[in-house]
Structure 1
């Protein structure tokens, strides 16, 4: 096909198909430089998009599509056929990828689009789409602060959500939780449905209902005390959604995504807790059944609910999909609650019948050691093993993937795409293909950086999944500073026992210093390899390596180094070496600030301001916390005139005892003083 391509859409253009047509039109423009012509007569079209007939031989299961080719002399015609809207969407996007070369994450990876003058379909074979391994597969766009802060509008506008949902559809996804507790007035729910995606719900927002305390401010959020108020919210949610494609999540957690008994101590036994959860779930089940034809139900066995179910304390309706969750670090065991880490297996037993699925994380936010701004720290082989084991245990009805803000996690999202479609994968083949799709040059060296990323990660515990993400350098650091400046150093920070075990505060500092040293050593080597490669690259490839490899590496490198200098600052202060402690705290702050500047470098072009709402890892907050610490330390020995350390360490001996104070009263800034003191102390070694 050359020149202007002609497309013939179906007579009835449903909104999901219209969106896919718009994508195909844009893709053809990118590749050929001209928009296709839309025609009504199939005979005059080179690409025909239509609902199938019996003669096409297209499978009739939901979402199936087929490609059929006709040839009349030199004229070739491609038919994309399916029996439902999503089938046509997937067929259109399959052609976009296989014929035009537009890969699933083209937008998020800034894929270079190869310009062509001809699209050749001569000799193409008929194609029938395989059945996906997982029936319901999609993303939870969770902790999406980068998407929220990227543009001025709140909640995020259509221009933010369109590339999210497009990428999900290109990955063969069919369901989504579009954001976390966003205002219902936003476009996200409407647009997701408009593009053909099933909607489902956060386990903390059962049925997609409004949060109780938002609707009834000041009331006690107790189902025991006011069941009618909860049920009123559930009924409103059912009425609003009953005509849409919904995967109804039945659940009962407390407000703010925590166990409900934290606010109601009368539920003080597993039996009482399980009975209440079972009662609520059955009530939600019956309410939906009364209003919705052929509903699809799910129960999120997340956190404490999984533990109660495993213990036999929760009774569930037989026809719900039971959703098992990993621990946030990719391991199919129960998640850590504060310092409690039971690691109970989170997969169904062999005798547990019915339908099962999983909720899986390649990004997480837990105020401890999770990854949010950086790539998942586990290996591709680890993720493959965990997900394939879940499939073997019968969890193939549903896979909800916590995808975060998309851009930082593309490699792992693409691995899960392969798994939910095919059920298995070869990690080496996948990496070779992934790098080949998005990078033009030095592909083996780039692949090696993806492969060795895991090896550079800090192991903070004995398990294979105990690998530190970017939050490890920030939430614990801010806790350590707060505990120190609150004057509580005679006792351990009990909020950090999950990492250090039962030790003193000084030993906690030593533990984190050791992890910081290990991370700084390994990440510095990895970043050096990355920077050596960057020296060989230019143009788009260089920018992609900066954005997707160098940036996470630098966040790890600067974070681990910032952590170790923070801990050394405490050791010096404990020995009353306050000037040295001030220098170490300054070095810590400078390290963290380098990580912040690395984020700014990734905010180019369309990505301007993408990281400005870094409110979760919050590197800027860590910088401010360490700055507060060094100001505190300067007050220990340089106050009240903030000239004492200059006089003691830096002033020439010939001047110390004869200078006139009225001519030497302009104290150095914290940065100037720290820099000069650092040089002084280094000379003394």
Structure 2
């Protein structure tokens, strides 16, 4: 094919196929330089046909099946993209774009450089796409603050959501939870359905219904006392979605994603709690069955519901997909709640009948040590082990992946793409294909950087998944500052037991300092290797891409690691009443954390302008504010009230100290200037 390609499309275009054709038009124009000509029906000759399957095509008899066929009229061949149904056509179009045009699934999010060509060569061999390993596979666009803050409209507009759903479809995904607790008048659910995706729901919002306390403010959120009100919300949700493709989530949690018995403490035994959850789920199940043909149901065995189910207290209908969750760090065990980390296996037992699935995190937000802005810290082999083991345990009907803000997580999301498609992965081969798909040169060195990224991560606990993400440098640090400034240094900080144990506060801080010191050395070494490739060897496009998708992550780790380390050192000096030195170390902390803000700003180029401005979860800016507050507090210890005393004691020339006139020497230095000059003085005198 070359020049202007003529494409025959179905006469009656459904919305999902129309979206896919629009993508194909854009892709052909990007590669061949000319938009294709679209023709519908008739007998006009066309090099490429997009059509639904007939009996002669012998396309597999399953949902979403597609293939390529090459019929001949005796003088010329054409290519047919043949789909069993509308999603089959969508996947066929996008697979053609990948195979023939080289458009990768994350072309938008990874800023793939699309290579222009004068013609494209297509092997004329019939092809049938293999069945995906997982029937319902998709993303939960969760903690999506970057997507929310990127553009002005709120809730996010079509402009934000279309690239998300397109990437999911290009990954072969068919299901989505489009955002977290967004206003109900947003475009997100409507557009997901318009593009052919199944929609599903957050486990805290069963059936996708309005939260009880939003609909009925001031009323007690107790199904036991207000069943009619709860059921009215469920009925309304069913009515709104009954014409859509929905994987209905059956669940019963309390308001704000917590156990319902926190609001209704009369349910004080596992028996009572399990009986209520079972009753509610059966009611939801029956309500859907009475209004929807052939509904698909699932129930999230998450948190307390998992524990009750494993204890035999929750009864689920046989055809409900039971969804098991990882701990937020990729291990298929129960998640940590504060300091409680039971790590109960979270996969179906042999006796568990029916269909099972998995809810999995490649990004997480838990105010402890999770990765939100940065890549998953574990190696590809770890993801392979966990997902393949889940499939081996029969949890392969459903796979929902917490994808966060997409852009920072494309490598791990591409690993999951391969797993939910094929059921297994050769991690080294996949990495080679991933790197060569997005970068033009120096593939071996880039592969080494992706592979060694996890080796630089800080292990903060004994388990393979106890690896620090970006939140490790910020949430614990801010907790330490709060505890310190509240004058509670004589007692341990309970909220940090999970990380450094139940030991005196100064030992908790020291425990972080030791881990961070080791982490600094590893991240410095990794970042140096990264810079040797990115800055010294790659061309302009590849260097920008590597800066955004490799260096960005290492630089955030290093700046956070250094900032937290110097914060801990500042506390050590403070305990020794060496307040000027503590002030200098707090300043070092502040300067390092500010580097993290610079890293975010550097990544906001071109279409990514302001992408990280809504960093409200890791919230580097909040950490900077907290450390600056601490630094001001420390300057009160000895330099107050005139903020001239440290200058006089440490920096003023000896010949001036006893003869200066206060009315000409009382302009205090700024915090930064004072810290810079004190640091130099203390280094020269060996005081730090």
Q: TM-score, normalised by structure 2?
A: 0.98
Alignment partner, residue 233 of structure 2: 233
- Deviation, 1:507, is 0.9
Q: Name the CA distance, whole Å, in 2 between partners of 1:498 and 1:103.
A: 40
Q: Any unmatched runs of 5+ in structure 2? A: none
Name segments (4+ residues, structure 1) moved above 6 Å.
Answer: none
Q: Name the CA distance, whole Å, in 2 between partners of 1:632 and 1:220.
A: 44
For residues 438-490 of structure 1, what are the alpha-carbon distances to aligned partners after superposition, in whole Å with 9 as ceiling and x for unaligned?
00111111000000011100001000000000000000000000111111111
For residues 271-310 of structure 1, what are the alpha-carbon distances to aligned partners after superposition, in whole Å with 9 as ceiling and x for unaligned?
2221121111111111111111111110000111111111
**Change in CA separation of 1:299 and 1:656 when aligned onto 2, cut-off 3 Å:** same
Alignment partner, residue 341 of structure 1: 341
**Change in CA separation of 1:46 and 1:356 when aligned onto 2, cut-off 3 Å:** same
Question: Within 5 Å, which residues of 2 pair with 1:176-575?
Answer: 176-534=176-534, 535-575=536-576
Q: 8 Å contact 1:31–1:113 — kept in the other structure?
A: yes
Q: Name the CA distance, whole Å, in 1 between partners of 2:447 and 2:55.
A: 45
Q: 8 Å contact 1:339–1:498 — kept in the other structure?
A: yes
Alignment partner, residue 151 of structure 1: 151
Q: Name the CA distance, whole Å, in 2 between partners of 1:394 and 1:196.
A: 27
Q: Name the CA distance, whole Å, in 2 between partners of 1:278 and 1:339.
A: 29
Question: Within 5 Å, which residues of 2 pair with 1:643-662?
Answer: 643-662=644-663
Alignment partner, residue 582 of structure 1: 583
Q: 8 Å contact 1:42–1:48 — kept in the other structure?
A: no
Alignment partner, residue 597 of structure 2: 596
Q: Name the CA distance, whole Å, in 1 between partners of 2:641 and 2:356.
A: 66
Q: 8 Å contact 1:63–1:83 — kept in the other structure?
A: yes
For residues 73-94 of structure 1, what are the alpha-carbon distances to aligned partners after superposition, in whole Å with 9 as ceiling and x for unaligned?
6633111111210000000001
Alignment partner, residue 13 of structure 1: 13
Alignment partner, residue 140 of structure 1: 140
Q: Name the CA distance, whole Å, in 2 between partners of 1:486 and 1:221.
A: 36
Alignment partner, residue 636 of structure 1: 637
Alignment partner, residue 617 of structure 2: 616
Q: Name the CA distance, whole Å, in 1 between partners of 2:288 and 2:119.
A: 53
228-237 vs 167-176, greater mean Cα deviation: 228-237
3-state DSSP of counterpart to 2:290: helix
Alignment partner, residue 124 of structure 1: 124
Q: TM-score, normalised by structure 1?
A: 0.99
Alignment partner, residue 168 of structure 1: 168
Q: 8 Å contact 2:3–2:33 — kept in the other structure?
A: no
Q: 8 Å contact 1:573–1:581 — kept in the other structure?
A: yes
266-275 vs 615-624, greater mean Cα deviation: 266-275
- Deviation, 1:264, is 2.7
3-state DSSP of counterpart to 2:7: strand
CA RMSD after TM alignment:
1.0
For residues 535-590 of structure 1, what are the alpha-carbon distances to aligned partners after superposition, in whole Å with 9 as ceiling and x for unaligned?
22231100011000101101111111111100111111111111111110010010
Q: 8 Å contact 1:8–1:42 — kept in the other structure?
A: no
489-498 vs 35-44, greater mean Cα deviation: 35-44
Q: Name the CA distance, whole Å, in 2 between partners of 1:128 and 1:538.
A: 38
Q: Name the CA distance, whole Å, in 2 between partners of 1:537 and 1:319.
A: 53
Q: 8 Å contact 1:67–1:127 — kept in the other structure?
A: yes
671-680 vs 51-60, greater mean Cα deviation: 51-60
Q: Name the CA distance, whole Å, in 1 between partners of 2:272 and 2:209.
A: 24
Q: Name the CA distance, whole Å, in 1 between partners of 2:271 and 2:84.
A: 48
Q: Name the CA distance, whole Å, in 1 between partners of 2:559 and 2:493.
A: 24
Aligned: 1:89 with 2:129 = no
For residues 170-205 of structure 1, what are the alpha-carbon distances to aligned partners after superposition, in whole Å with 9 as ceiling and x for unaligned?
000000000000011111100000000000000011
Aligned: 1:34 with 2:34 = yes
3-state DSSP of counterpart to 1:637: coil
- Deviation, 1:42, is 4.8
For residues 425-450 of structure 1, what are the alpha-carbon distances to aligned partners after superposition, in whole Å with 9 as ceiling and x for unaligned?
10000000000000011111100000
Alignment partner, residue 677 of structure 2: 676
Q: Name the CA distance, whole Å, in 2 between partners of 1:407 and 1:638.
A: 46
Alignment partner, residue 61 of structure 2: 60
3-state DSSP of counterpart to 1:201: coil
Q: 8 Å contact 1:515–1:560 — kept in the other structure?
A: no
Q: Name the CA distance, whole Å, in 2 between partners of 1:582 and 1:260.
A: 47
Q: Name the CA distance, whole Å, in 2 between partners of 1:409 and 1:448.
A: 18
- Deviation, 1:15, is 0.3
387-396 vs 67-76, greater mean Cα deviation: 67-76
Q: Name the CA distance, whole Å, in 2 between partners of 1:279 and 1:481.
A: 46
3-state DSSP of counterpart to 2:515: helix
- Deviation, 1:71, is 3.6
- Deviation, 1:262, is 2.2
- Deviation, 1:252, is 0.9
Q: Name the CA distance, whole Å, in 2 between partners of 1:441 and 1:679.
A: 44
Number of equivalenced pairs: 684
- Deviation, 1:514, is 1.1
Q: Any unmatched runs of 5+ in structure 1? A: none
